[in-house]
């Protein structure tokens, strides 16, 4: 499914920051003001999205009152230009513009596109620089921006130079950035000075005080953190911290009657007003609902769930129904829960009652609702199937496939399973299509071979045909992957491996380098390692390819010993480098691990891959395709 990204467009040169001046986007007037009409013109002929084969979208956001929200935009286009008229609110500080075509994005070479707003004199609003820094740092992962701490820090410094008061308002964000750049006592000392100065201000939000208290804890200043918490309890008796404290206390209660009384008192003391507060109360009632479900007290569970938000209740019912269906237990209850969840999702699909999240474009909101319906319908269909209602199960599973756009292999697997159960003649047709699109599970491929042999009486023919279908899928996957190639300079580094030998990226020029950022505490990192070992084995005799595993974000006292102990007995032939001060992970703008980079022979990042899907074979295929595409691109350049 299509991913959602956020970008920012820089309209002024920033001293000391190597931002590329955007040339594809023209803004009229050049110095837009909050609340005024702005014309955006994007050059389609020079856009990196021009060859995507899909229509380019423009989505415009504003950042105002600590919220990101979409803006109504009048869009029109011709052969060269994509144009949009938009007006921000009077409180806006920054505008964001997203350009995308399907899953592809133009993010201004990792920097993003965003628009600073100006005052009546034509000067950039000082807060615009600070908001730019926060969004670059905190939201940049969604947009796959570089997220380099030094860039965010310089943006903050620009804001503070223009208005010194902003250093107090943005103290926690600035200090988080500072600590990524300055390790040890020097960084700690400077961070504490900034936090103390901000905490002494009277005009500071509770949200910022809460963030400062957490940073005090992190820096070992527990007494100052506790003083701030006492201040929040005094100054904000109905505020965020007091509510969170009460919620925390309730979550540690064990007796149902005790929890009931505590929630009743909480609801009396903090009657929910905002959507956020209603969601907090809903989560408390989910504690009671889950306890009742665990005790198989279904009437009680429903009574508690009635106090939850409709969306949370549907999600709870779907999760419980799925667990029961997988175990084959209490299918009658599972049926009732799944039916209610699916009916809610279907109503939301066509006539939504829940408000659209402010930050989501309308098309993404629609897609989110389709995905939810597909997930709930899949659960409902499985229960119907296990109850022997195969025709009804097939209809809901068909709709699950339709609304997930055939992109979820496990949903597809159940669909063809139900088709076969009903002896539907088109089952092989669907199997071939899913396999050819790369959206089939191993079980589906075995099902295909079995059906092929039963119909055509040829085991070798089934194997040959399956290989051809898989080859087409691989070819299509590689084409899609090629569209995601990037071309950004890889930050150089010099780190020691576990033997104490220094390894430099510069010394590896002329080789394709795969970097894998990981940590011993990271579950997905460790789950991905069998696949990474298979990828290493594929290239063990290829002198052009090097794999480096950068151990980062560790909390152990002896980090080298910690890494060695983890690797012992695993059989992994990894070259592990120690990023003990977390500097390299910061320069690469990594926001979550595992994150992998494929760097070409000239030292340019060509691919970035975040996370692990859980599919080892898919990971090996992806790594191999990335490496081979980088090799092929290098050969093409030589020609």
Tens digit of each residue's pLDDT (9 = 90 or more) over 452-482? 988 877 888 888 988 999 888 888 888 888 8
Quote the CA–CA distance of 353 and 373 in Å, as a whole number: 15
C-alpha angle with apex 159: 153 to 164, nearest 5 degrees?
110
Task: Summarize pLDDT for 274-323 with one digit per residue, the tens.
Answer: 888 999 999 999 999 999 999 999 999 999 999 999 999 999 999 999 99
Task: Summarize pLDDT for 164-201 with one digit per residue, the tens.
Answer: 999 999 999 999 888 878 767 888 999 999 999 999 99
- How much of the chain, in percent, has pLDDT values that exceed 90? 67
- Tell me where in the chain the CATH 2.60.40.10 domain(s) lie: 1-162
Report CA-CA distances (Å) from 551 to 214, 401, 508: 25, 40, 19
- Say what the pLDDT of residue 13 is: 33
* Token couple for 96: 């964001």
1-162 CATH, one of 3.40.50.620, 2.60.40.10, 3.50.50.60, 3.60.15.10: 2.60.40.10
Task: Summarize pLDDT for 218-246 with one digit per residue, the tens.
Answer: 899 999 999 999 999 999 999 999 999 99
Q: Which residues pair with 213 in a beta bridge?
A: none
Q: What's the CATH number for 488-638?
A: 3.40.30.10
Local confidence band at 10 (pLDDT 50, 70, 90 cut-offs): very low
- Tell me where in the chain the CATH 3.40.30.10 domain(s) lie: 488-638
- Say what the pLDDT of residue 141 is: 67
Quote the CA–CA distance of 387 and 391 in Å, as a whole number: 11
- How much of the chain, in percent, has pLDDT values that exceed 70? 95
Longest Cα–Cα distance of the chain, Å, equals 82
Residue 9 has pLDDT above 70, yes or no: no
Report CA-CA distances (Å) from 159 to 162, 382, 617: 5, 56, 48
Residue 8 has pLDDT above 50, yes or no: no
Q: Which residues pair with 503 in a beta bridge?
A: 495
Local confidence band at 1 (pLDDT 50, 70, 90 cut-offs): very low
Task: Summarize pLDDT for 332-389 with one digit per residue, the tens.
Answer: 999 999 999 999 999 999 999 998 988 888 888 999 999 999 999 999 999 999 999 9
Question: Is residue 348 within 8 Å of 354, Cβ to Cβ?
Answer: yes
Q: Which residues pair with 515 in a beta bridge?
A: 548, 597
Among 55-59, 400-404, 532-536, where is mean pLDDT lowest? 55-59
- Say what the pLDDT of residue 482 is: 87
Mean pLDDT of 598-607: 94
- Say what the pLDDT of residue 457 is: 75
Residue 16 has pLDDT above 80, yes or no: no
Task: Summarize pLDDT for 203-212 with one digit per residue, the tens.
Answer: 899 999 999 9
Quote the CA–CA distance of 278 and 273 in Å, as a whole number: 7
Local confidence band at 263 (pLDDT 50, 70, 90 cut-offs): very high
């Amino acid at each position: 499914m299509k991913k959602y990204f956020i970008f920012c467009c820089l309209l002024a040169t920033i001293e000391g920051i190597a931002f590329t001046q955007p040339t594809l986007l023209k803004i009229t007037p050049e110095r837009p003001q909050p609340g005024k009409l702005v014309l955006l013109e994007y050059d389609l002929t020079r856009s990196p999205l021009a060859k995507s084969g899909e229509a380019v979208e423009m989505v415009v956001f504003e950042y105002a009152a600590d919220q990101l929200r979409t803006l109504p935009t009048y869009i029109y286009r011709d052969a060269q230009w994509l144009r949009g008229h938009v007006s921000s609110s009077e409180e806006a500080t920054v505008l964001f513009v997203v350009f995308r075509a399907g899953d592809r994005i133009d993010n201004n070479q990792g920097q993003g596109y965003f628009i600073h707003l100006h005052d009546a004199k034509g000067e950039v609003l000082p807060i615009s620089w600070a908001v730019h820094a926060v969004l670059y740092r905190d939201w940049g992962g969604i947009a796959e921006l570089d997220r380099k701490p030094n860039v965010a820090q310089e943006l903050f410094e620009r804001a503070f130079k223009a208005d010194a008061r902003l250093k107090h308002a943005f103290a926690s964000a600035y200090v988080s950035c500072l600590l990524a750049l300055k390790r040890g006592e020097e960084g700690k000392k400077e961070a504490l000075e900034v936090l103390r100065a901000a905490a002494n201000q009277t005009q500071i939000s509770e949200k910022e005080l809460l963030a400062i208290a957490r940073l005090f804890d992190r820096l070992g200043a527990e007494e100052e953190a506790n003083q701030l918490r006492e201040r929040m309890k005094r100054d904000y008796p109905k505020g965020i911290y007091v509510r969170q404290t009460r919620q925390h206390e309730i979550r540690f209660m064990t007796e149902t009657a005790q929890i009931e009384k505590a929630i009743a008192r909480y609801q009396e003391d903090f009657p929910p007003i905002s959507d956020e507060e209603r969601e907090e109360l809903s989560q408390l009632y989910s504690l009671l609902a889950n306890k009742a479900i665990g005790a198989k007290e279904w009437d009680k569970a429903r009574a508690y769930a009635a106090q939850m938000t409709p969306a949370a209740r549907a999600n709870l019912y779907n999760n419980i129904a799925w667990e029961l269906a997988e175990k084959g237990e209490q299918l009658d209850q599972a049926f009732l829960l799944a039916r209610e969840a699916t009916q809610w999702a279907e109503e939301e699909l066509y006539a939504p009652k829940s408000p659209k999240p402010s930050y989501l474009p309308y098309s993404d909101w629609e897609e989110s609702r389709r995905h939810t319906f597909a997930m709930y319908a899949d659960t409902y269909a499985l229960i119907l199937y296990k109850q022997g209602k195969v025709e009804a199960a097939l209809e809901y599973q068909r709709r699950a496939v339709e609304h997930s756009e055939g992109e979820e292999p496990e949903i597809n697997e159940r669909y063809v399973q139900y088709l076969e159960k009903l002896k539907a003649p088109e089952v092989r047709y669907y199997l071939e299509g899913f396999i050819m699109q790369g959206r089939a599970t191993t079980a589906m491929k075995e099902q295909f071979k079995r059906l092929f042999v039963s119909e055509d009486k040829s085991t070798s023919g089934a194997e040959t045909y399956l290989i051809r279908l898989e080859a087409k899928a691989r070819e299509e996957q590689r084409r899609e992957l090629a569209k995601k190639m990037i071309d950004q300079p890889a930050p150089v580094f010099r780190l020691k491996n576990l033997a104490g030998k220094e390894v430099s990226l510069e010394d590896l020029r002329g080789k394709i380098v795969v970097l894998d950022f990981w940590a011993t505490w990271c579950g997905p990192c460790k789950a991905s390692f069998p696949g990474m070992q298979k990828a290493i084995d594929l290239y063990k005799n290829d002198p052009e390819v090097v794999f480096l595993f950068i151990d980062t974000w560790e909390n152990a006292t002896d980090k080298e010993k910690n890494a060695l102990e983890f690797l012992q007995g695993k059989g992994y032939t990894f070259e592990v480098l120690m990023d003990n001060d977390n500097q390299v992970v910061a320069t690469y703008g990594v926001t979550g691990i595992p994150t992998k980079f494929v760097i070409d022979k000239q030292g340019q990042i060509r691919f970035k891959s975040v996370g692990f899907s859980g599919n080892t074979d898919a990971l090996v295929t992806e790594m191999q395709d990335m490496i081979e595409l980088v090799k092929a691109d290098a050969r093409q350049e030589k020609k």
